[in-house]
Structure 1
């Protein structure tokens, strides 16, 4: 299966923060992303979520990820928000409710191939008793 995606990551940089630390937070979860600095934020572009998917499997939060992805999905892709402090530690923690005072990391995924549901199934496969249903999807 060929996956063709564009991932755009936007991380606010507050006056009290060190830009390099925010960049590290983004790179911890999206190591192949190309980062650029814009006023008040970092913007990163990537074409893979492999490292992110591995972390979802390691943390055993596939069901949570699916809920977040499908919660903000349309025919072109999906979006989700992550807690910046957790990302500093290399941990995926989805941001729900009120944004953190440092701002949340916003991730927008545009899926060109195959389709949104197929790609979500690849990144965060459906589970049964917390384990991926298809054995070939186990990380």
Structure 2
């Protein structure tokens, strides 16, 4: 039986004067296709309730360990957050923003796990790996 996850995801991204709002929205929905996007005073605010497509991107790019590191680094209680590069997201590529902030700003993602718990959800989205391959807990 598969676990049902209850999560609330808030995604924010600045929209600079030099950017086209729809392109920033596309960057968000390329990684979170079910997100409900709203443009507010120079930024996009979106909400979503799953990270399935995002997880598929992590698997396809084979960056599960990187993702786990980013998630656990900013895990507090039932919430974790991370930042993504806008340009990569526009290309449907996950690129975690670390170090100096990008001049256009980053996509900020905040995930609150309601059920069952944040660690289990992180394991679902970006499972632990061995030699770069996801570990099957049933083996």
The equivalent residue for 1:21 is 23
Could you tell me how far apart the structure 2 residues matched to 1:11 and 1:32 are? 16
Query: How far has the Cα of 1:135 moved from its partner?
Result: 6.6
Could you tell me how far apart the structure 1 residues matched to 2:73 and 2:121 are? 15
Query: Structure 2 regions of 5+ residues with no counterpart?
Result: none
Query: Structure 1 regions of 5+ residues with no counterpart?
Result: none
Q: 4+ residue stretches of structure 1 with deviation over 2 A?
A: none
Question: Residue 101 of structure 1: which of 95, 100, 103 is its match?
Answer: 103
How many residues were matched structurally? 136
Query: How far has the Cα of 1:76 moved from its partner?
Result: 1.8
Q: In angstroms, what is the RMSD of aligned CA positions?
A: 0.9
Question: So what's the TM-score if we normalise by structure 1?
Answer: 0.96
The equivalent residue for 2:46 is 44
Question: Residue 117 of structure 1: which of 113, 116, 119 is its match?
Answer: 119
What's the CA shift string for 1:96-121, capped at 9, x where partnerless? Answer: 01110000000000000110100000
Question: So what's the TM-score if we normalise by structure 2?
Answer: 0.96
Could you tell me how far apart the structure 1 residues matched to 2:55 and 2:72 are? 15
